[in-house]
Amino acid sequence: GGGGGGGGGCKEEWGWELQGLTHVDEKGRPQMVEVGSKQVSQRVATASALLWAPDEVMSLLDQSTGEMQGRKGPVIATAIIAGTMAAKKTHELIPLCHPLMIEGCSLEAERVGKNELKLWCTVRTSGKTGVEMEALTGVSVAALTVYDMCKALSHDMVIKETRLERKTGGKSDFSREQREL
């Protein structure tokens, strides 16, 4: 089995090629990407998650305020706080993420269908590495918080389509809207 010792590169030891992966070295071992020589730039990323919930959960949503009042308290407000906290702790949860100074984090939630709630998390920083993982972590924990706060009504909820919507800064920009046209 591959592992320690000398020997060849990743393909010889593990049977696969790196193919542009930056979080593994030439032998296939995990590594944190070196960002010391990168230029500081404005970085912004937005991620979204879609949560499907049955009628008894969605009935909590007050269309005029956008809040869901559950037994544990205000669901959306709590999800926003939880998502913000999670974005700030991403480097503690995802092993090879760099700790970042987050300059801004905002979360939103909106009913997008009879039984669907869409959540967004946007994270901003000036730094040498992007904030995609922070946005994805923030929106994921926000969706999990909605689930947690509403599960007394129904466990029949599904968190789906957690994805990066767009990012700017660094080597390349990305926008899902442009890709889906």
pLDDT in tens, 63-86: 889 899 988 999 999 999 999 999
Q: What are the structure tokens assigned to 49, written together? A: 């998650």
Q: Check pLDDT > 80 for residue 13.
A: no
Cβ partners under 8 Å of residue 65, min gap 6:
none
Band of the pLDDT at 14, cuts 50, 70, 90?
Answer: very low
**What is the CATH number assigned to the segment(s) 41-169?**
3.30.70.640
Q: What average pLDDT does this structure show over 23-39? A: 79
- Where, residue-wise, is CATH 3.30.70.640 in the chain? 41-169
Annotation says 148 is catalytic: yes
Helix, strand, or coil (residue 137)? helix
Q: What average pLDDT does this structure show over 91-117? A: 95
Tally of CB atoms within 10 A around 139: 33
Q: What is the per-residue pLDDT for 44?
A: 98
Select the more confidently predicted residue: 94 or 14.
Answer: 94
- Phi and psi torsions of 22, nearest 5°: -100, -10
pTM assigned to the model: 0.84
Q: Check pLDDT > 70 for residue 161.
A: yes
Q: For 115-148, what is each residue's pLDDT tens digit?
A: 999 999 999 999 999 999 999 999 999 999 999 9
55, 62, 148, 173: the catalytic one is 148
For residue 91, how many C-alpha atoms fall within 13 Å in the half-sphere facing its CB? 12
